[in-house]
Structure formats: C-alpha cells, structure tokens
C-alpha cells in the first residue's frame, strides 16, 4: 500500500512540473456500474456502487493535448438478484453483492474541443491504470467456505483474490467553467481490466449437501473473474495559473 502512495506522489509531481507552468487539479466521484466475467459459472447481475478520485493535469493553450494523473477508490464487482414470491402474493427481490474494494492510480491523456462560442469544452480521454484490492465483501468468510465447501459454487473464496489488477480507461466528458479559476466536470468512462481479479483452481471432492444426490461428492471447476465497470462522474476542477513577469 505504501508503494501505491509513493507512485501517486510521483505521478502528481511529474504532471505538476511537466510544463513548469500552470496546471489544473480537482476531485470527482459518482456512480459505478460493476459487471464481471465469471469463468465456468452462471451469469451474474450488475452491481451499483460508487467511486471517488483526485486528479491533476497539464494546462495547455489552444486545446493542445493534456496529460493527467489520477488516484481513486473504486468499488467493483457483481451481484445475484433473487426474486421470492411470498404466500401473500408479493414479489420481493434479494440482492447478494460481491464487492472488490480497490484503490488505484492512472496516467493518461485528454484531447479537448471547443463548443461553439461558449467556454465549455468537450474532451475524450485514454488512460492506463493499476489497482490494489484493499478489502472485499462477499457476504460470507473463508471459514464459512471451510465448513460448507459447496458454497464455493456461488461465492468467491477470499484466498484466491488477486490483490493487483490492471487495465485501461476510455471515455469523455465536458468541462463547464464556473469562474476564472474553478469549474465543473461531467464524465463517462468505460473501464475494462486486462488481468483477472480472481483466480481459483479446480476444487475436488466437495461433499454434496443434497442427501438424494446421485454422487456423494462433486468438483467445482477452475474459475476466473475479470472486472468491467462503467462510471458516471461529476466533480470540481481548479486552475493554478502561473504568470512570469519580466
């Protein structure tokens, strides 16, 4: 975790001093829609959570290409939604979430465009990122899995969570000035991971809890989980203007 903080400080310093002149910085956050690819398992539903980040970027003239660095917290994962019909005829939905709580850093670039005669600017961005999993919440613990191994059919096992993941971010947004030195940003990004969040080998000789099962034991096949998230973000952007006087 300490290495990740040092990496963020390095990126922040690098971007802040890349021009030796003015730069922009700010904070942002919003809704995360988490989806996952679960190998050798049934399809999971989307998980609706949140994210937050701090960023810094070069401040170029005439919409020139800008470089940015970002550090943030992202809750990723998926869920299972189960509909239960009561004797009274009501339909109740229960959600089982699988959360991976990650911190990460990203380095990328932005290209901006003017919108008519206004000061608003559209932009698209691309970034490469690395993330570290600081916590998870699967609704059960590894001790539960040890006592009831058949639960591994549905739930991830903490032991097989990969702490480090990496991927890319693609997206775009709009910058809206609110004054000379402050503005708002509205942004949408797609964030696919290239590495697995979870790697589980095949688990053999799991006792079937069903007394009428044809076989007393079964195997849970190898499983990998990979993240794909969609983020809707709003935030504030501040300018630090450096002027040189002869």
pTM, 2 dp: 0.85
C-beta neighbour count of 230 within 10 angstroms: 15
Backbone dihedral region of 165: left (phi > 0), alpha (psi from -120 to 50 degrees) or beta? beta
Per-residue pLDDT tens over the stretch 193-245: 999 999 999 999 888 887 777 788 889 899 999 999 999 999 999 998 665 55
CA neighbor of 195 nearest in space, from 223, 167, 170:
167
pLDDT at res. 7: 55
**Domains annotated on the chain, with CATH:** 2-240 (2.40.160.20)
The mean-pLDDT minimum among 10-24, 64-78, 99-113 falls in: 10-24
**Which residues on neighbouring strands pair with residue 198, listed in sequence order?**
161, 225
Kindly tell me if the per-residue pLDDT of 85 is higher than 80: no
What is d(CA 226, CA 231) in angstroms, rounded to the nearest whole number?
A: 16
pLDDT at res. 19: 47
Region 175-195 average pLDDT = 95
Report the chain's terminal Cα–Cα distance, integer Å. 45
pLDDT at res. 150: 86
E-state strands within 148-202: 164-177, 182-192, 198-200
Bigger pLDDT: 41 vs 69:
69
Region 80-90 average pLDDT = 72
């Amino acid at each position: 975790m300490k290495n990740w903080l040092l990496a963020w400080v390095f990126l922040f310093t690098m971007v802040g001093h890349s021009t030796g002149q003015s730069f922009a910085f700010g904070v942002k956050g919003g809704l995360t829609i988490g989806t996952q690819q679960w190998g050798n398992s049934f399809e999971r539903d989307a998980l609706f959570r949140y994210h937050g980040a701090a960023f810094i970027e070069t401040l170029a003239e005439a919409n020139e290409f800008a470089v940015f660095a970002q550090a943030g917290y992202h809750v990723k994962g998926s869920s299972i939604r189960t509909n239960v019909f009561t004797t009274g005829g009501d339909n109740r939905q229960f959600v089982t979430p699988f959360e991976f709580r990650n911190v990460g850093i990203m380095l990328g670039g932005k290209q901006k465009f003017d919108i008519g005669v206004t000061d608003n600017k559209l932009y698209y961005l691309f970034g490469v990122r690395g993330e570290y999993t600081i916590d998870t919440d699967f609704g059960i613990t590894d001790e539960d899995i040890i006592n009831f191994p058949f639960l591994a059919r549905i739930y991830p096992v903490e032991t097989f969570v990969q702490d480090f993941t990496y991927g890319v971010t693609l997206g775009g947004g709009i910058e809206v000035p609110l004054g000379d030195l402050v503005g708002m940003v509205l942004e949408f990004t797609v964030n696919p991971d290239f590495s697995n969040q979870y790697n589980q080998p095949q688990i053999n000789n799991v006792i079937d809890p069903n007394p009428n099962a044809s076989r007393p034991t079964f195997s849970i096949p190898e499983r990998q989980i990979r993240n794909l998230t969609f983020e809707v973000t709003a935030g504030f952007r501040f300018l630090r203007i450096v002027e040189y006087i002869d």
